[in-house]
Every structure is written in C-alpha cells, then in structure tokens.
Structure 1
Amino acid sequence: MAFLGLRKWPTPVAKPIWPFIAASGLTFFLVGKMQDAGVKSEEFRNDPRNPYAAQIAKESAPHH
C-alpha cells in the first residue's frame, strides 16, 4: 500500500544519473581549459577587452 504516493522501497536516484554527473564534470573541466587556452592565445593576449591581460603580461614578463 502506498502512502501519499511513496513506495515501500525508495526509487534509486544516484545510480541512473551517474553518467550525467560524470559528463557534466568532464564538460565543465574541458570548457574551462578551452577558455583558458583562448584567453592566453596570441590573438587575444594583448586585447584591451581581455580581463586577464594584466595577469598574462605579468606571467610572461622575463624574470631576472
């Protein structure tokens, strides 16, 4: 007998959704890597609209 639509055994949640969680994590990681590569690319490195231009210039400055 169901009480307010609840069954005796709970419906599995994590087991059927794990591929989507794994794919989301992988997508988040890869998109972040692509964004970082794009921001540091030669074309956009010195663009004044690049919010990371100062940080990139500081990192690529020659250290003596």
Structure 2
Amino acid sequence: MAFLGLRVWPTPVLRPMWPFIAASGLTFFLVSKAQDMGVRSEQYKNDPRNPYREQIAKEEAAKHH
C-alpha cells in the first residue's frame, strides 16, 4: 500500500546513475589537467593575461634554487 505516494521499497537512484557519475568525475579531472597544462605551457607561461603567472614564476624560482 502506498502512503502519500511512498513505496515500500525505495526507488533506485545511485545504481542506474553510476556511469554518469563516474564519467562526470573523469571529465572534470581530465579538463582540469588540460587547463593546467595549457596555463603552464611555454607559450602562455609569461603572458600577462595569465592569472597564474606569479604562481608559476614562484614555483620555477623555488625549483631552480
């Protein structure tokens, strides 16, 4: 018997959605890595429009010392 539309057994949510959740995590990770590689590339490393320019310069200075 349904009481206020609730069933005895819950509707499965996670089980049919796991491929989409896994693909979302993988996509987020790969896009993040691609963006990081692009920001740190030789062409854009010293570009004044690069918001990570100072951070990259500090890391390279620490690496050389």
Cα deviation, residue 10, structure 1 = 0.7
Question: How many residues are aligned here?
Answer: 63
Counterparts of 1:60 and 1:2, CA distance in 2? 64
Match for residue 8 of structure 2? 8
Counterparts of 1:39 and 1:24, CA distance in 2? 22
Match for residue 31 of structure 1? 31
What is the TM-score with the length of structure 2 in the denominator? 0.86
Structure 1 segments, 4+ long, off by >6 Å, are none
For structure 1, list consecutive stretches of 5 or more residues without a partner in the other structure: none
What is the TM-score with the length of structure 1 in the denominator? 0.87
